[in-house]
Structure 1
Amino acid sequence: MPRGPIDIFLILLFMALLPLKANGAEKGHTETLLEGAKKEGRVVWYATMNITDAKKIIDAFEKKYPFVKVDLYRAGSQPLLNRIASEYRGSRYLADVAETNIFESHFLQKKGFFQPYHSPEAKFFPSQFKDANGFWVADYILYYIIAYNTRLIKSSEAPKSYQDLLHPRWKGNIGLKDDAVRWYGALLEYWGEEKGKVFMNHLAAQSPRLLGGSYGLISELIAAGEVPAGIVYAPTVESLRRFKGAPIDWEAGLDPVVTSVIALYMLAKSPHPSSTKLFIDFFLSKETQQFLVAMNRVPARLDIEPISPKLHPGRLKIAVIRPEMSEKFDHYSREFKETFSK
C-alpha cells in the first residue's frame, strides 16, 4: 500500500530521532556509572601491557576521572591468569578488569571467572574482535605476517603468500619461532586439517630455521640480514621500518593474516563494578584507542587509522586465533614439534 506524505514524514522523523535516543541512553548510562564510581573511588587493573604504556592509559583516565584511582598489577598472560585463579580459589576478589589474550583466557571464562559487560563502545568493533555474549572486547590486535629483508630480497621476489615460501629460493632461509603453535593451529583451522598439514609438511621440507626468543628478536635478525625472511608480528616490522629505517617489509595481501587478540574482561566478582565499566568504556573509546597507535599497537576499532594503512584490519584477510583453539593446544603443540623437529 502506498504511503502518504504524513506517513513518510513520520518515518523520517522517527529515523532522525533514533540517534538522539541512542545518545540519550548512552549519556544516562555514563551518568549512572559516574555516580557509582564516585562512591567506589577505585578500579584494579590486571594488565599484560607493559608498565610504560599502561601508565599512559592510567594517567589519561585519572585526568578525566580524578575521583577514581587505578591500581595496576602487571604480568605476562599466564602468570596473570594464574593469579586470578588462585585469588578466586581463596575467595579473594581483588581484580576488577583483566587485559589479556583471549586464547589463554578461555578456560577462566568457561569456569565463570568473568562476567559479560556490553559496553556502548563495543559497537565500533567488528564481530570477530568481540565476544558475542559480551565477555570481552579487543583493545588491540597482533598480526602474524611474512617479513623479509629488502636488501636481500627484491620486491618482485618477496613472499606474498604462504605458497611462495615453498619456492626453492627459501630453503633454509625462513625464520620460524620454535613454538609458533598458535600460528600453526590457526592456519590448520582456517584451511582445514588436510590442506593445512600438507602445507606444513612442505614448509618443514624447506628446512626453516627454528629460532628461540621473541618475535621482536626474529624481526631484528631479518632486518640485520641474519635470516632473509620469517614469520613475525607486523607492528614490530612497521616500527623497525618507519622509525629505524631498517631494511624490512611485508606484503599485506597474505591470506589469511593470523591474528592474536588482546582483550578486556570484567571480573565476575568485581569489587568496583561502576568504576570498572567506566574504565572499560574509556579504554575502548576512540580517544584512548588513538593512544595505542602512538604505542605502536594496532587498535581493533575500525574508525582508527593505525600507524600504517597496511595495518588496518578492514584491509586484511583476518583469521583470529579463536579462544576455543586453546582446548587443542596440546594436540597442536605435539604436531608442530613432530612436523618441524624432524
Structure 2
Amino acid sequence: MSNSKEILDFNKQIELQDNSFPMMQILNEEGKIVDQEGLKAAALSDEKLVELFKKMLFARQVDIRCMKLAKQGRMGFFGPHAGQEASQMASSFAFTDEDWLFPGYRDLPQIYSKGWPIWKGLLWSRGHQLGNEYETEDGKPVNSWFPQIIIGAQYVEAAGVALGLKKRKKDAVAFAYTGDGGSSEGDTYEGINFASAYKAPLVAFIQNNGYAISTPRKFQTAAKHLAAKGWAAGAPSIVVDGMDAIAMYLASKKAREWAVAGNGPVVIETITNRLEPHSTAGDDPLRYRTQDELDGWWKKEPLVRMRKFLIDKKIWDEKQEEAYVAELDALIDENIKKANAVEKQKISSFIKNTLEVPGQAMAEQIAKFESEGK
C-alpha cells in the first residue's frame, strides 16, 4: 500500500540521496589504516604495495617533467594529473592487459601502465601521428583507445567494446575514465545506460577532481553524488576516496569481478583533486580557486599518505625513493630524446594522413607541398 505523504516528501528524497553513498576509505590522510577488513580484502602483499607505490611515483614524475617541458615550449597539449595518482594508477592496477582502457586526455599514465612508451605519449601531446600508435616498444598491441579529447565520448566507445567482449565471450572488461565535468555530458550517461541495458562488462570511473576546467563541481550539478547518475541506468554505483590507493584498488578489483561475471557495469566516483592547472593551454587555477584550498589538498594527496603507510611498515624509505626517482628521470630523459629525434611532420604528410585515398584536389596539394619540401 502506497504512502502518498512519504512519497511526496521531497526534502526526504534529497536527504536519502545524500546518505546513500558513504565514501569508502581504507587508508586515511595520516597514512593509517581505518578499515582492516578492507585492507585484508585488497590482499596486497608488501611487494605489491611497493609496486603500486612505484607506479604512483612514476605518474607523479611524468607529470613533473611534462610540466617543465610545457613551460619550455617543448610539450604541446598536456593535462596535469598531480593529485590523481591513486585514482588513476591504483584503479588501473586492478585490471589486466586483456582489458580495454578508454582514457580521457588526463589519463596518459594508465596507458603507460599497459606498456605504451612515454615517447609516444609525448608525440601524442605534440600532435604527431606516431603518437596514435598503441603498441609496446617490441611491437605488441596495447589494449587502449586514444586519450579522448571530446568530453565523455570515451564512455560510448567503451560501452560498444564492452558489448563486443561479451559477445566474444572474452575474460575481459572495458574500463573508462572521465572527470566530474564529463559526468554532465550526455555521452557519459548514454554509455553507462547502454552497457547496463545489455549487461556489458564496463567499469566506469568518474574522477571528481573538484573542477571542470574553471567550473567548481558545486556549480555544475545539484546531484549530491555523481555516483547517483549510475543508479539512473540501473548500475551499482559507489563513492571511493580517490586519494586512497588501497581503497581505489579494492573497489576496482571488485568492480571488475562483478562486470566480467556478466552482471553489467559498475560506476565508481573517486573523490580526488586536481592540484595543478586544467591544462598547459593557458589555464591559471588561482583565477577560480584559492591558494589555501590548494595547500589543504596538497597535505592529503595520495603520495603523502601512501608513503607514510609504507615507511611505517618498514618496506620503504627515503633512500629507496631517491634512487627510484633517479631511475625514472633517466627513463624519461631517454624517452624525451627519442621523441625529439622523430622526423617532424610536414604539411604534405598531414594531407596524406587525412584520407586513405586522396581526392584530386588533395593529390595536387600533396604534390605541390612535396615539391616545396613542405
Give the structure-1-normalised TM-score.
0.27
Structure scoring higher RCO (CA < 8 A, sep ≥ 6) equals 1
**Which structure shows the bigger proportion of residues in strand conformation?**
1
